A = this chain, B = another copy of it.
Amino acid sequence: MSEVTRERVRAAADRLGYRPNRAARGLITGRTGHVGVIVPDLLNPFFADICKGVQARARGLGHAVFVSDTERDEGLEMDAIRTLAPEVDGIVLCAPQLSSEELRSLSDVTDKPIILLHRKEPGFASVTADLVEGMTDALTHLHALGHRRVAYVGGPRSTWTAQERAAGIEAMASSGKVEIIQVGSVAPHFDGGITGAADVVLASGATAVVAFNDIVAFGLISRFSARKVRVPDEMSVVGCDDIALAGMAAPPLTTVHVPKAHAARAAVDLLFRTLGTPAGEDVEPLQRVLPTHLVVRGSTAAIERP
C-alpha cells in the first residue's frame, strides 16, 4: 500500500474520531496497556511522590496507571494485588507489611510481573535506596558537629526499610564514635506515639536525634517546640526521605534524600524490560539500588560546648 493511501486512511480515521478499543485488543493480545502501583499510604508524601513518578513514566510509555492504597494493612495489600493483577500488564509494589512467605506465594496468585519498590526479596526484581549509607551519613554529620550522644527513633520493626536503617545506625554505633540511644519504634505517621518518643529523647540526655522519616521528625520537632526546646540550638534533628515539605518547615529539615521519583521511574523501566522479554527465557531479576545523600538544612547545628 502506498504511503499516500496510508496517510489518507489515517486522516479519515482521525476525522471520524476512531480510537482502538484497548479492552478488545487486550482480549486477544493478553496485554491491557495498564500498569498498577500499590502503596501503603498516599497521605505520606513519600508515596504520593512515588505514584507521581510511576504515573509520569507510564504515561510516557502509553500506559494508564491504577493506584491502590492499602492503608498499611497486610490483608489489603494481598487483596490489592489479587484485584489489580488481572487488569494490568504488571505491578509496581510497595508492600512493607506483606511477609516474605506471602510475597513468594504471589506466583500462585498471578504470573504478571511484579517489581518491588523499597524492598528486596530473592527472586524479585526490585528498586531500593541505599539507606545504610544514608543513615551513616546522617550520623557522621552529627558527629562532625560535635554530637556524641544521639537518639534514634525507629519505625515499624518488621519492614525492610526499617531494618536497613537500623543496620546503618548499628554500623556507626559499633564504631564507637557516637553513642546511640534506641528509642523504640513508632508508627510512621504523626500521632501520640511520637509525642511520647520525643519525651524519651529529651529525658535521655541526647543532644541530637535521627528520626525514622521526615513525618516522625516533624512530630518530634512539634513536641520539642511545645516543651520549649529549641531546634537546632538545643536539639539537632535529622529526618529521612526528604519529602517536599521538609524544605518548607521552619526550621527547614536536615534529612537523608531518597530519590523517590527516580526510583519510581526505574521500577517502571524494570517492569517494561520484563514485559519486553519473551516468556520462557526469563532474565535474572535485576535488583537496582539507588544512592542516597544527606541534605543539610536548618534543623542541625554544632553542639554548644559547655
In the complex, the chain B residue whose C-beta lies closest to that of A226 is B250
Pick out which of these stretches binds chain B: A17-25, A135-143, A265-273. A17-25
The answer on a CB contact under 8 Å between A42 and B34 is no
The answer on a CB contact under 8 Å between A43 and B52 is yes
Residues in B with CB closer than 8 Å to A248 are 190, 215, 218-219, 222
Cβ distance A35 to chain B, nearest Cβ, rounded Å: 10
The answer on a CB contact under 8 Å between A87 and B34 is yes
Q: How far is the CA of A300 from the CA of B260 in the complex (A)?
A: 34
Cβ distance A23 to chain B, nearest Cβ, rounded Å: 4
Cβ distance A62 to chain B, nearest Cβ, rounded Å: 9
Pick out which of these stretches binds chain B: A63-71, A145-153, A281-289. A63-71
The answer on a CB contact under 8 Å between A67 and B43 is no
Q: How far is the CA of A225 from the CA of B219 in the complex (A)?
A: 19
Does A48 lie at the interface of the complex (its beta carbon under 8 Å from any beta carbon of B)?
Answer: yes
The residue from B26, B42, B225 contacting A55, defined by CB atoms under 8 A apart: B42
Q: How far is the CA of A86 from the CA of B22 in the complex (A)?
A: 8
Cβ distance A268 to chain B, nearest Cβ, rounded Å: 14
Cβ distance A30 to chain B, nearest Cβ, rounded Å: 10
The answer on a CB contact under 8 Å between A43 and B34 is no
The answer on a CB contact under 8 Å between A64 and B87 is yes
Residues in B with CB closer than 8 Å to A24 are 23, 27
Query: Chain A at the B interface: mostly helix, strand, loop or mixed?
Result: helix
The answer on a CB contact under 8 Å between A56 and B43 is no
Does A45 lie at the interface of the complex (its beta carbon under 8 Å from any beta carbon of B)?
Answer: yes
Residues in B with CB closer than 8 Å to A66 are 34, 64-67
Q: Mark A19-60, 1 if CB is under 8 A from B, else 0.
A: 101111011000010100000011101001101100110010
Does A13 lie at the interface of the complex (its beta carbon under 8 Å from any beta carbon of B)?
Answer: no
Residues in B with CB closer than 8 Å to A245 are 190, 215, 218, 245
Q: Which of A27, A66, A226 has the most CB of B within 10 A?
A: A66
The answer on a CB contact under 8 Å between B23 and A32 is yes
Does A196 lie at the interface of the complex (its beta carbon under 8 Å from any beta carbon of B)?
Answer: no
30 contacts between A and B (CB under 8 A): A21-B27, A23-B26, A23-B87, A24-B27, A42-B42, A42-B48, A43-B48, A43-B52, A45-B48, A51-B51, A52-B69, A55-B67, A55-B69, A59-B68, A64-B66, A64-B68, A64-B83, A65-B66, A65-B67, A65-B68, A66-B66, A66-B67, A67-B67, A190-B244, A190-B247, A215-B248, A218-B248, A218-B250, A225-B251, A250-B250
Shortest 6 CB-CB contacts between residues of A and residues of B: A225-B250, A23-B23, A67-B67, A48-B48, A218-B248, A42-B52
